[in-house]
Amino acid sequence: MREWKDKFEATCKENNWLPDYSSEERSSIDPDEDLRQRIFLSKQDVLEAQAANPDANFSIMTPFSALTRDEFTTKVLNKYVRPNTTRKATPTATTATPKRSLRQQDAYTFNSMQDMIDSLMKSLQQQMGGSWTIGTVKPATDQATNEADTSVSKQWHWTIPATTPTSAPTPVTAAPIPVTQAPTTAAPRTYPPPTPAPTPAPTPAPTPAPTPAPTPTTRAPVVEPVTRQPAKPVQTEKGTLKTANSVDWSASKCMSPVQSQGQCGSCWAFASIAAVEALQCIKGGQQGINKYSEQQLVGCDTKNMGCGGGAPVYAFEYIQQNGLCSENAYPYTSSNGGGASCSASCSKSQTGITGYEHLDEGNEAGLIEALKSQPVVVAVASGNAAWKQYTGGVMSSCETTNLDHAVLVVGYDDSTFKVRNSWGENWGEAGYVRMARSSSGSGTCGMLTDMSRPKM
Which residues have a catalytic role annotated? 267, 405, 421
361 in Cβ contact with 448 (< 8 Å): yes
Residues 335, 177: Cα–Cα separation, whole Å: 48
Q: Report helix, strand or coil for 283.
A: helix
Q: Report helix, strand or coil for 142.
A: strand
Residues in contact with 441: Cβ distance below 8 Å, sequence separation at least 6, in sequence order = 361, 362, 448
What letter represents residue 356's amino acid? Y
Helices marked H in 18-155: 31-52, 69-76, 113-128
Among residues 370, 361, 387, the alpha carbon closest in space to that of 447 is found at 361
Cis before 202 (ω within 30): no
CA angle, residues 78, 83, 85, in degrees to nearest 5: 80
Residues 362, 50: Cα–Cα separation, whole Å: 26
CA 302 to chain centre: 23
444 in Cβ contact with 304 (< 8 Å): no
115 in Cβ contact with 177 (< 8 Å): no
Q: Report the run of H or E that residue 455 belongs to, with start and end.
A: strand 451-455
